[in-house]
Amino acid sequence: MTPYISIVIPVYNEEPNIQRLFTRLYPVMQEIGKPFEIIFTDDGSHDRSLEMLKKLAADHSEVRVVEFNGNFGQHMAIMAAFEISRGEIIITLDADLQNPPEEIPKLVAAVERGHDVVGTIRQQRQDSFFRKTASRLVNITTRKITGIKMSDYGCMLRAYHRNVVENINRCGESSTFIPALAQTFASNPGEIAVAHAERSEGESKYSFYKLIRLNFDLMTGFSVVPLQLFALMGIMTSIFAITFALFLLVRRFIVGAEVEGVFTLFAIMFFFLGITIFGIGIVGEYVGRIYQEVRRRPRYVVRKVHGAVNE
Ligand code: UDP
Ligand code: MG
C-alpha cells in the first residue's frame, strides 16, 4: 500500500534519542489511521545510531533507513529521504525530540485544509539566549534580503505536499536550506504554532561554524542582494573618498598641509580596507558556490537503503 504520510528524520549521532523518539512517534502515526512510512537518514553517525535504526527497520515494515557514506549535513539528509519518499504529505522532524511528534496531526490537518507548505512557529522556544538572539537576527535579515516570508526559519517541524517535494527533488543544489527552497515552490503556504522542547539528550550538532555556514547558505543561496548591496556600497564609498580628497586639496591651499591628520587617514584607510576584504569575501562566497555546482559532484552518497521496499 502506498503511504499517505511520509515522516522524514535526519539523524546524526542521536543514539540516546532514537528509541525515545520512536516510541512517541509510532503511536501518533497509528492513531491517524492512514498508511504511513518513516524514513530515517543516518548522516554518517559515529555512534550506534545506524545499528538502532536498522533494527527499527527490521522490526517495522513502515520504517526505512537511508545509510549515508559520511556526514553530508542535515539538509542533504532530508533531501535523500525526500527522493525515496512516496507519501502525499511529507513531514520533516528533528531526531532530538525538540519537535514533539504529538503535533504531527495538526500539520496533517493543515495540509488537508489546502496548504501545500506548512511551517511552524515555536512557542516558548527552549534554546539558549545566544541561539535565540542569533536566530531572531537571522530571521529578520533573511526576510528582508530574500523576500521569503516565514516567521521562523529554524524550526524543522514542517509539512509539505507531494507537489512541492517533487519540485525540490528536481533541484540539484548542493548547499541549500530546505524551508526556504520549499517556500519558493509553495502556492499556498501556511503556518501553525507548535510546542518546542529542550533537546532531550546529547548536544546540538551545530557548532558555531556550522551555524554560520548555514546562514550563509540561506542568504547567498536565495538572493544576490548581498552582491548588489556591496556594489552600491562600493560606489558610495568611492564618491565619499573623492569628495574627501578634494576637501584635503582645498584645505592644503588655505591652511597648508596637515601633519596631525596622518592617523585619521590611517583610520579611513583601514575602513576602506575592511570594506574591500568584506567584498572579496562575498564575491568569493558566490564564486565558491558556482565552483561547487559546476563540478557536478554527487551531493551525497547513499551506501544502502534498509527497509521493506528495497530489500
Ligand atoms: N543533523 C544531521 N546532520 C548534521 C547535523 C544535524 O542529520 O550534520 C540532524 C540531527 O541529528 C537532528 C537535526 O539534524 O535530528 C537537528 O540537529 P540539532 O538538533 O543538532 O540542531 P539544533 O536543534 O541545535 O538546531
Ligand atoms: Mg535540536
Q: pLDDT per residue over 132-165, tens digit each?
A: 787 777 778 777 777 777 777 678 899 999 999 9
What is the Å distance from ligand 1's center to 186 Cα? 24
Confidence of residue 24 (pLDDT cuts 50, 70, 90): very high
Distance, CA of 207 to CA of 186 (rounded, Å): 31
Average pLDDT over residues 85-93: 96
Average pLDDT over residues 74-95: 96
What is the Å distance from ligand 1's center to 10 Cα? 7
Tell me the range of 5-9, 214-218, 289-293 where mean pLDDT is highest: 5-9
Name the closest-CA residue to atom 13, ligand 1: 94
What is the pLDDT, as a whole number, of residue 258? 66
pLDDT greater at residue 165 or residue 247: 165
Please state, for a pLDDT cut of 70, what percent of the chain lies above it: 97
Cα angle vertex 56, ends 51, 62, to 5°?
140
Q: Which ligand is nearest to the CA of 77?
A: 1
pLDDT score of 105 more than 90: yes
What is the Å distance from ligand 1's center to 3 Cα? 26
What is the pLDDT, as a whole number, of residue 260? 66
What is the pLDDT, as a whole number, of residue 95? 95
What is the Å distance from ligand 1's center to 12 Cα? 6
What is the pLDDT, as a whole number, of residue 198? 83
Average pLDDT over residues 57-78: 95
pLDDT score of 310 more than 50: no
Atom of ligand 1 nearest to the CA of 10: 7
What is the pLDDT, as a whole number, of residue 61? 94
What is the pLDDT, as a whole number, of residue 90? 97
pLDDT score of 74 more than 90: yes
Average pLDDT over residues 100-105: 94
Distance, CA of 64 to CA of 40 (rounded, Å): 6
Among 29-43, 154-168, 272-286, the minimum mean pLDDT is found in 272-286
Domain boundaries in the chain?
5-205+298-307, 225-295
Confidence of residue 263 (pLDDT cuts 50, 70, 90): low
pLDDT score of 43 more than 90: yes
Is 68's C-beta closer than 6 angstroms to any atom of ligand 1? no
Atom of ligand 1 nearest to the CA of 11: 11
pLDDT greater at residue 244 or residue 19: 19
Q: Class of 5-205+298-307 per CATH?
A: alpha beta
Q: Which residues does residue 192 pair with via DSSP β-bridges, in sequence order?
A: 120
pLDDT digits (tens, 9 = 90+) for 283-307: 888 888 888 778 777 889 999 999 8
Name the closest-CA residue to atom 16, ligand 1: 94
Q: Which ligand is nearest to the CA of 206?
A: 1
Q: What is the largest CA-CA distance in the chain?
A: 89
pLDDT digits (tens, 9 = 90+) for 173-197: 877 889 888 988 999 999 998 888 8
Cα angle vertex 23, ends 21, 29, to 5°?
95
Average pLDDT over residues 242-262: 78
pLDDT score of 233 more than 80: yes
Question: Comparing C-alpha atoms, which of 230, 208, 225 is closest to residue 281?
Answer: 230
What is the Å distance from ligand 1's center to 87 Cα? 23
Mutate to test the pocket of ligand 1, among 20, 82, 206 (most ligand atoms within 8 A of CB): 206
Is 73's C-beta closer than 6 angstroms to any atom of ligand 1? yes
Atom of ligand 1 nearest to the CA of 93: 15
Distance, CA of 307 to CA of 39 (rounded, Å): 9
Residue pair 128/208 in contact by the 8 Å Cβ criterion: no
Question: Comparing C-alpha atoms, which of 72, 91, 215 is closest to residue 164?
Answer: 91
Average pLDDT over residues 241-257: 81
Is 191's C-beta closer than 6 angstroms to any atom of ligand 1? no
What is the pLDDT, as a whole number, of residue 311? 43
Atom of ligand 1 nearest to the CA of 206: 20
Mutate to test the pocket of ligand 1, among 11, 12, 18 (most ligand atoms within 8 A of CB): 12
Is 71's C-beta closer than 6 angstroms to any atom of ligand 1? yes
Q: Chain-wide mean pLDDT for the chain?
A: 87
